[in-house]
Structure 1
């Protein structure tokens, strides 16, 4: 039976790749690498470098374009569902072309279990196509781990919870009961839209990569600096990938 490895590869640092991931990479016959657009091209290049560095057996690399999301659909959730359905159709064609006894791999940024839809999409492929294949998930270093390591800070305060959310959710208000909030997938600079109060921010762009940018401090003092750095980085590279931790402090 076909087998698909879904391998977390960390956040752009080639040394984030774990020994377990290297072992999995050396069991595969085909690696599927998405391309299209400045960001995908940059991340595809890193995936190629990881394969070149760690795979010591013959392997086929199959690049494929990722279809763009239809942003005209007004409902956000439906827009994402439709987009995932298109990707699932693309995956189905790729997986169907694998030999019956082949092992394939998708290399997932960060970890497959955190704000990544690969596992949902792959299950949709099974439902849509009836293809039979086993799945093995290899965990990876997350952007959250890379962020806290970069600033040498703990994720949580003593005995308190941490909320992991998106900019879209944070704009509705600070999560109840949390003094530490990690914000991912924030294309709207939500940190600049909330009342800064007694909040510190630890912000990173391209965390773990060579072009990593780190800014931290009281939100009221550094949010404009972050916005300027963010726009400059997007203009330079053509894309931006950032994450930040907000922490309430004592008055």
Structure 2
């Protein structure tokens, strides 16, 4: 049985790789690297840089292309079929080196937080022994970059997605929400006068962009900054924290 190591590599800063992550990369006989198209080639390049930085003799690398996700059959069905297709490509990449006892996949952020690596791994056949090496999350990197706590004193917070914010509105039972996986600037669906926002793109990377302030004052700045950054780089990863104001008090 092969060992499959899902190694969280943080949000783009090679210094965020943990010692456990370094050891996992050094142990690997084969490392899988996804390719997401020419416009996102620097994501594969960053993984290659991390591998070269922490190994004296880099292990064998197998590349695989990420398939396009269908959107014509509903969101959940589309994602489920997409995961099946990715698992097939993982398996084909692993089969290029059947003698590899330890296979590693370097996962952006952390494999256990809003990432589907574990769901995809469960589709592999034969089933490997899968182990997660936790990494720095975008949530941690964002709050550190803005030097803020994620929650107010003694209060809960919600981690959710842009889709959920658009479809169901503000989450009940909390004044603080961390929004991930939002390509639509879904904060625009809220009454901006009621919220403050801390937004970041490419958090932890050299091209990091941070904007914060009352949502009604910075919403358009974030939207246009995001649009321009995506055009410049060909891709964007962003995340933001929203906090509902209490009694009209900002920040």
| Corresponding residue number in structure 2 for 1:84 | 83
The answer to whether the 8 A contact 1:31-1:106 is kept is yes
1:230 counterpart (226, 231, 240): 226
1:173 to 1:194, Cα distance in 2 relative to 1, 3 A: same
Q: Which moved more, 1:54-63 or 1:158-167?
A: 54-63
- Give the whole-Å Cα distance in 1 for the aligned partners of 2:32 and 2:120: 14
TM-score between both structures, scaled by the size of structure 1: 0.94
| Corresponding residue number in structure 1 for 2:105 | 106
- Give the whole-Å Cα distance in 1 for the aligned partners of 2:159 and 2:60: 37
TM-score between both structures, scaled by the size of structure 2: 0.94
1:72-221 mapped onto 2 (5 Å cutoff): 72-73=72-73, 75-100=74-99, 102-125=101-124, 129=125, 131-171=126-166, 172-221=168-217
The answer to whether the 8 A contact 1:180-1:246 is kept is yes
Offset at residue 37 of structure 1 (A): 1.8
The answer to whether the 8 A contact 2:40-2:234 is kept is no
1:5-16 mapped onto 2 (5 Å cutoff): 5-16=5-16
Q: Give SS of 2:241's match.
A: strand
1:228 to 1:113, Cα distance in 2 relative to 1, 3 A: same
Number of equivalenced pairs: 246
CA deviations on 1:71-107 (whole Å, 9 max, x unpaired) are 222x111010010011111112222333345211100
Offset at residue 70 of structure 1 (A): 1.4
| Corresponding residue number in structure 2 for 1:61 | 61
| Off by >6 Å, runs of 4+ in structure 1 | none
Q: Which structure 2 segments of 5+ residues have no match? A: none
Q: Which structure 1 segments of 5+ residues have no match? A: none
| Corresponding residue number in structure 2 for 1:26 | 26
